[in-house]
Amino acid sequence: MGPDIKRMRAIVSGLSNARVMVVGDIMLDEYVWGDTSRISPEAPVPIVKVTKRSHGLGGAGNVVQNLRALGSKVLVVAAVGDDTRGEQVRDYLRDAGADTDGLLAVKDRPTTVKTRIIARGQQVVRVDDEISGDIPRKDLPRLREAVMDRLDDFDALIVSDYGKGIVTEDLLSDIIPACRKAGKVVAVDPKYPKFLEYKGTSLITPNTKEAGEFLNRPLDDEKDIITGGKEILKALECDEVLITRGADGMSLFQKGGKVVHIPAIAIEVFDVTGAGDTVISVFTACLATSASPVEAAYISNLAASVVVRKIGAATANPAEVMRMATGPGGRA
């Protein structure tokens, strides 16, 4: 059973008190919208006549936006290029209400930009402008210091690893032990094959595919999930493993505790983009405000159910989470 509605309302209303540091790969999402009516004579591709362009935060930026939608205080520790697009990212973060003191401008490394060209509502192609290798070693001390200098100001840290080179093994080996020693929650949205680099964290949130990749076998049924989750919990020496399972909900594994399966809420799904960012954001904010792991899992499941009903990388605010909890599809 999940938390009763009174307890849930108390937790959700308290999320504005959470103080969370986000470390990870932040990027700029660019959308080029247009129309198409013919094929190019130069190659078998459509000609897209551009009608508008739009921009927004991507990668770890979506975690930031999810936390800010809850009202939580957020500090961003990440790197962008020393370029115009890096300034755009900084402006978007400030507009969202995030603290950008830990956002570093790095020379000789462009801001990661993902450009999606969309014609008649259909994505035609995506163009990635990025350098995905590890950030230069000379810049690592700046990232490390950005975390350490503000550690006392925050209750929890989320590592949002998109494999773009900011979350390096050296950085993790410094900040994870320091955060745990300071009594901070450390949550990781993982990137395969780096799982073992996250050893010792409070929480890791792989989806079924990522968990299976780490274990080198598919997790096809309930028995596989239970066995696999326990193996990951032991291998990474973490407090909780939350495996997100799409239409099958999520499964929470706790050190020294039982396995808790949380079913998905029966709703119409429009877009699962960014749902994982919502889960780790809400779960971590709940833990940062004294909710239990089981309570955090139930509430993050509700929040994910809110965002999958929206188009694109979306967020859930406290009122929407409570409506999901008390509506026809809610579990409370």
Nearest to 161 by CA among 208, 217, 106, 201: 201
Other C-beta atoms closer than 10 Å to the C-beta of 196 total 10
- Structural domains for the chain: 5-27+58-112+131-326 (3.40.1190.20)
**H helical segments located in the chain:** 5-13, 60-69, 84-96, 140-149, 169-181, 208-215, 222-236, 275-288, 293-307, 318-326
User: In whole angstroms, what separates CA 200 from the centre of its chain?
Assistant: 19
In this predicted structure, which of 66-80, 93-107, 224-238, 295-309 has the lowest mean pLDDT?
Answer: 295-309
User: Which tens digits make up the pLDDT trace of 114-148?
Assistant: 999 999 888 899 999 999 889 988 999 999 999 99
- What confidence tier does 224 reach under pLDDT thresholds 50, 70, 90? very high
Angle (CA) 159-160-166 rounded to 5° is 85
Q: Which tens digit of pLDDT belongs to each residue from 5-37?
A: 999 999 999 999 999 999 999 999 999 999 998
Q: Of all residues in the chain, what percent carry a pLDDT higher than 90?
A: 80
177 vs 199: CA distance, rounded Å? 10
C-alpha 61/C-alpha 160 separation (Å) is: 9
Q: How many CA atoms lie within 13 A of 284 on its CB side?
A: 36
Would the pLDDT of 312 be above 80?
Answer: no
Contact 232, 253 (CB under 8 A): yes
**pLDDT above 90: residue 281:** yes
β-pair type (185-189, 156-160): parallel
Q: Where in the sequence numbering do the catalytic residues fall? A: 277
Q: What would the pLDDT profile of 233-274 be if each residue is shown by its tens digit? A: 999 999 999 999 988 889 999 998 789 999 888 666 554 566
Pairing, β 26-39 against β 19-24: unpaired
Percent of the chain with pLDDT over 70: 94
For residue 271, what pLDDT is reported?
46
Residue type at position 183: G
pLDDT exceeds cutoff 70 at 332: no
* pTM for the model: 0.92
